[in-house]
Structure 1
């Protein structure tokens, strides 16, 4: 049975809205397509850096399961969700695909995912087998599991020690930054000093020209409305005890009207007005923090742990990591996200697909992924192997992993109608960043969003 026209329309809307700017890695398309053989398990992912590790997992799985073959398709982030949606509509979706927390709720509502509880191979997957907090996120409102956790991510600052040394900013300063929404704390002082205008004057020196900046102290990842500040402002608002919804997952009441949250947003976007961070008009949606950092246009680049390999590949950079700053509560904070593998209802052999998902969620596969050091696998053993791999490569990833160890994470919202939500939040936050709206105007947005969810609940 194919999706109805209503479902098809919703899927198209979901793919369009959700592909605008959510965090994720991308790469060139490879091996696109699906197989018609019930013995071939089609598996889709978007991160080219992870494909070699998962190919090794596929090879090992095939040896243990004679007669089954895994065909891996990798495509870039921009194409991934639109082609997945097209596959749902045309009844040509893969058997298994890498799923995202911000998307799966809507996919469950549209009936395109199969509960893992229905299959012998996956019904015993337990939340306690994974890093705390990840497993339960993939349990729907019906109490059934729709994803087997594969990895997780937090945020930190990437920086070039050559640049910070030249500026006279010490490692100790970067490791112990503080933040508050009034004056930005020592964090703002650091990025002000790291900012340099085109005449060589630093941001905290007399004569600094904020309208002609050569190097910004802090890179910009956009406004953050489409991902609730995951790589923008979420690390700061999290120290205020602020979370986007009243509960998570499946919250229905949003909290963007919180005065402290709005004050923090005013401080954050105000960095652009001071010249310490690019204005929206400077880079807009076209250039993220990685591109700005790689071009030498920014000193500190907040980004997710999934970007470690990309930043590490840059030449002539003495790459280091700095943790997010401690807030007024004396604690750090980071948005916490995770990916999982899901089975589509279009699978020709869902039992075989479930075997593959169970293997993807096992120590056997996640240890392989951990040893590659590209991401932090969801299982603790895989996480530790990834830490060791990065340590051997000369990079201390504690600024990412300490958030999980110290339980200083804030979960990104898992809600229904994510596409409709993003259609409202993304342009509104951009307007605040640009300056055509004020942070206080987010109360109006909050009212619109809450009305949407009141209608949904009826």
Structure 2
């Protein structure tokens, strides 16, 4: 899968149907979570038997290559991998689980895995299998419910600011560190020759909803209360909606384009001069420019500008879990442990540019030697997981439509915040 189609895959993943609601999760970084749940330790003996693995096409396309050393070290183990199109993945996984025909190991996504975090679906992560503190905090916490860890992080991504360094230099400006500095920065990029300074996402879907949720955090919001109720009709959400809309009302972004498939060509041509996006884009730009080295000489990255509270972003990526009805849990957990090793995650990066979820893996020269990734590393250390609520994707998708209404002047930010609160209350949180 090309790095361009990775973004397509993310949109397809977001459209996957969600299953039965699970309890609203309260996450905590508990080092002994698995021990408390009674999970047994996994020893260092060779893995044997057969392990069936299901994963979504994309980052998992290179899994066969990445696990080859593990298979060599465990000659009596057979690893059978099934890759499923992103748009079908969760629905097929849910159906298999319901029929008692699920795999031993399954891939999940931190931003949408809440529905699976339950003892009836997944086994708790065994005590001592991995060090919870070795991962970016929010990625680990996304798999923890009531002190019990169910998933192990595999790869990570978040958003940062990617911009045309050459145009910023021409304009004499540096990347903004606050919301207040964003509009002057974007205006300066336009003054340096960009038609529109920001290539904003205009899909008006779950991704726009996630963006505004992120801005709400930056403004100081909590999306759900400590008691597990939706908390979206707040001054902070209004500020987030207004901030996002300001890109369009100020003329620094355009509600008619680019579409996400056009984002890189627009950026390279100068039709736009910045993007708020993920690390995969770094590997796309030389191809879009049809010139090796174009990215290094034209592009810079920076952490996101801070709102009134922080510059926090969201955490996303991939995780692994072992199903409760697995027929070979010992070998399954040994495979998951291997996939969580820093060296394995570096191998995954080299094979597919998947950014490691293990913090120490970022010290590898293959990654550390790329300065454009520094902003993403910095940003990953200040991220949050989306609410562990089974209806979050529905709410975020509806929020994306409210974002559109505000950006196009068809609704006020206050009205949109009230609308999304009402919608969220109507679908609930999936809490039993």
Under TM normalisation by the shorter chain, which class is it?
A: 0.7 to 0.9
Aligned to 1:187: 182
The answer to whether the Cα contact below 8 Å between 1:154 and 1:334 also exists between their aligned partners in 2 is yes
Q: 2:197 aligns with which of 194, 217, 234?
A: 217
Identify if the C-alpha distance between structure 1 residues 307 and 345 changes in structure 2 by more than 3 Å, giving closer, same or farther.
farther
Q: 2:224 aligns with which of 245, 252, 261?
A: 245
Aligned to 2:105: 96
CA positional deviation for 1:361: 1.6
Aligned to 2:90: 81
Aligned to 1:46: 57
CA positional deviation for 1:87: 4.0
The answer to whether the Cα contact below 8 Å between 2:139 and 2:385 also exists between their aligned partners in 1 is no
Equivalents in 2 of 1:361, 1:90: separation in Å?
29
Aligned to 1:56: 65
Q: 2:139 aligns with which of 134, 140, 161?
A: 134
Identify if the C-alpha distance between structure 1 residues 427 and 265 changes in structure 2 by more than 3 Å, giving closer, same or farther.
closer
**Residue deviations 1:198-223, cap 9 Å, x none?**
xxx96xxxxxxxxxxx8321112236
Q: Pairwise mapping of residues 264-413 of structure 1 onto structure 2 (< 5 A)?
A: 264-279=240-255, 281-282=256-257, 287=261, 289-290=263-264, 292-293=266-267, 296-311=270-285, 313-314=287-288, 315-316=290-291, 317-319=294-296, 320-327=299-306, 332-345=311-324, 347-370=326-349, 374-385=353-364, 388-392=365-369, 394-404=370-380, 407-413=381-387
Aligned to 1:16: 17
Q: SS at the partner of 2:223?
A: coil
| Bigger relative contact order (CA 8 A; separation at least 6) | 2
The answer to whether the Cα contact below 8 Å between 2:217 and 2:310 also exists between their aligned partners in 1 is no
Aligned to 1:9: none
Equivalents in 1 of 2:119, 2:257: separation in Å?
39
**Residue deviations 1:43-89, cap 9 Å, x none?**
414324x643x333311111121221223444553344344445445
Q: SS at the partner of 2:107?
A: strand
Aligned length: 386
**Residue deviations 1:342-388, cap 9 Å, x none?**
12346443332222112112234224235558233222221222xx3
Equivalents in 2 of 1:13, 1:267: separation in Å?
24
Equivalents in 2 of 1:268, 1:391: separation in Å?
32
Aligned to 1:174: 174
The answer to whether the Cα contact below 8 Å between 1:363 and 1:382 also exists between their aligned partners in 2 is yes
Aligned to 2:5: none
The answer to whether the Cα contact below 8 Å between 1:99 and 1:342 also exists between their aligned partners in 2 is yes
CA positional deviation for 1:402: 1.8
Equivalents in 1 of 2:87, 2:400: separation in Å?
17
Aligned to 2:22: none
Identify if the C-alpha distance between structure 1 residues 435 and 345 changes in structure 2 by more than 3 Å, giving closer, same or farther.
farther
The answer to whether the Cα contact below 8 Å between 1:139 and 1:146 also exists between their aligned partners in 2 is yes
Per mean C-alpha deviation after superposition, the further-off stretch among 336-345 and 290-299 is: 290-299
Q: SS at the partner of 1:16?
A: coil
Equivalents in 1 of 2:315, 2:431: separation in Å?
27
Identify if the C-alpha distance between structure 1 residues 98 and 410 changes in structure 2 by more than 3 Å, giving closer, same or farther.
same
Equivalents in 2 of 1:364, 1:325: separation in Å?
29
CA positional deviation for 1:188: 0.8
Identify if the C-alpha distance between structure 1 residues 69 and 195 changes in structure 2 by more than 3 Å, giving closer, same or farther.
farther
The answer to whether the Cα contact below 8 Å between 1:367 and 1:381 also exists between their aligned partners in 2 is no
**Residue deviations 1:226-254, cap 9 Å, x none?**
25754x3455444322332235xxx7223
Structure 2 unaligned regions, length at least 5: 1-12, 20-47
Aligned to 1:443: 418
Equivalents in 2 of 1:345, 1:65: separation in Å?
23
The answer to whether the Cα contact below 8 Å between 2:14 and 2:206 also exists between their aligned partners in 1 is no
CA positional deviation for 1:106: 1.0
The answer to whether the Cα contact below 8 Å between 1:228 and 1:244 also exists between their aligned partners in 2 is no
Identify if the C-alpha distance between structure 1 residues 419 and 381 changes in structure 2 by more than 3 Å, giving closer, same or farther.
closer
TM-score normalised by L of structure 2: 0.75
Identify if the C-alpha distance between structure 1 residues 343 and 435 changes in structure 2 by more than 3 Å, giving closer, same or farther.
farther
- Pairing 1:418–2:392 present: yes
Q: SS at the partner of 2:347?
A: helix
TM-score normalised by L of structure 1: 0.71
Equivalents in 2 of 1:395, 1:66: separation in Å?
39
